[in-house]
Amino acid sequence: MKTETLAVAPDRPDAEPIARAAAVLRAGGLVAFPTETVYGLGANALDAGAVAGIFAAKGRPAHNPLIVHVADTASVFSVVASWPETAARLAGRFWPGPLTLVLPKRPAVPDAVTGGGPTVAVRVPAHPAALALLRAAGVPVAAPSANRSGGISPTRAEHVLLGLDGRIDMILDAGPVPGGLESTVLDLTTSPPRLLRPGLLSPREIEKVIGLVTRGSRPVAEAEVVLPSPGMLSRHYAPRTPLECAEGDGRACVEELLRSGLRVAWLTFGPADLRDVVMVPMPRDPAGYAARLYAALHELDAAGVDRIVAALPPPADEWLAARDRLRRAAAP
Ligand code: TXA
Ligand code: MG
Nearest atom (ligand 1) to Cα of 121: 26
Beta bridge partners of 6: 172
Single-letter residue type at 157: A
Q: For 257-274, give one letter per residue: b (16+ CB within 10 A) or e.
A: bbeeeeebbbbbeeeeeb
Among residues 151, 121, 166, 181, which one has the least CA distance to residue 320? 181
pLDDT at 228 over 60: no
Nearest atom (ligand 1) to Cα of 60: 13
Q: If you average pLDDT over residues 70-83, what whole number do you get? A: 98
Among residues 21, 261, 60, which one has the least CA distance to residue 163? 60
CB 251 within 8 A of CB 274: yes
Q: If you average pLDDT over residues 96-113, what whole number do you get? A: 98
Single-letter residue type at 234: S
pLDDT of residue 37: 98
Cα distance between residue 70 and residue 28, in whole Å:
17
CB 40 within 8 A of CB 172: no
In tens, the pLDDT along 289-316 reads 999 999 999 999 999 999 999 999 998 8
Q: Is 80 in the pocket of ligand 1 (CB under 6 A)?
A: no
Cα distance between residue 232 and residue 229, in whole Å:
6
More confident residue, 222 or 121: 121
Q: Is 181 in the pocket of ligand 1 (CB under 6 A)?
A: no
Q: Is 143 in the pocket of ligand 1 (CB under 6 A)?
A: yes
Q: Is 119 in the pocket of ligand 1 (CB under 6 A)?
A: yes
Cα distance between residue 159 and residue 41, in whole Å:
12
pLDDT at 272 over 80: no
Tell me whether the omega of the peptide bond preceding residue 315 falls within 30 degrees of 0, making it cis.
Answer: no
pLDDT of residue 271: 72
Q: If you average pLDDT over residues 119-147, what whole number do you get? A: 98
The alpha helices in the chain, defined as continuous H runs, are 15-26, 48-58, 85-94, 111-114, 128-137, 157-164, 203-210, 220-225, 251-259, 286-301, 320-330
Q: Is 320 in the pocket of ligand 1 (CB under 6 A)?
A: no
C-alpha to C-alpha distances, 182 to 122, 186, 316, nearest whole angstrom: 13, 13, 18
Cα distance between residue 174 and residue 287, in whole Å:
20
Q: Which ligand number lies closest to the CA of residue 122?
A: 1
Q: Nearest residue CA, atom 13 of ligand 1?
A: 144
pLDDT at 80 over 90: yes
Percentage, residues of the chain above pLDDT 70: 95
pLDDT of residue 221: 67
Q: If you average pLDDT over residues 18-25, what whole number do you get? A: 98
How does residue 52 score in pLDDT terms, banded at 50, 70 and 90? very high
Q: If you average pLDDT over residues 47-72, what whole number do you get? A: 96
User: Mutate which of 105, 145, 186 to test ligand 1's pocket (most atoms within 8 Å of Cβ)?
Assistant: 145
pLDDT of residue 116: 94
CA 303 to chain centre: 23
pLDDT at 227 over 80: no
Tell me whether the omega of the peptide bond preceding residue 332 falls within 30 degrees of 0, making it cis.
Answer: no
Identify the DSSP state of 72. Answer: S
Q: Computed over its alpha carbons, how large is the radius of gyration of the chain?
A: 20
Q: In 3-state terms, what secondary structure has residue 130?
A: helix
Q: Is 79 in the pocket of ligand 1 (CB under 6 A)?
A: no
Give the chain's end-to-end CA distance (angstroms, integer): 33
Q: pTM for this structure?
A: 0.96
Q: Is 121 in the pocket of ligand 1 (CB under 6 A)?
A: yes
pLDDT at 167 over 90: yes
pLDDT at 274 over 90: no
pLDDT at 124 over 70: yes
More confident residue, 253 or 220: 253
Q: Is 155 in the pocket of ligand 1 (CB under 6 A)?
A: no
**Centroid of ligand 1 to alpha carbon of 149 (angstroms):** 12
pLDDT at 220 over 80: no
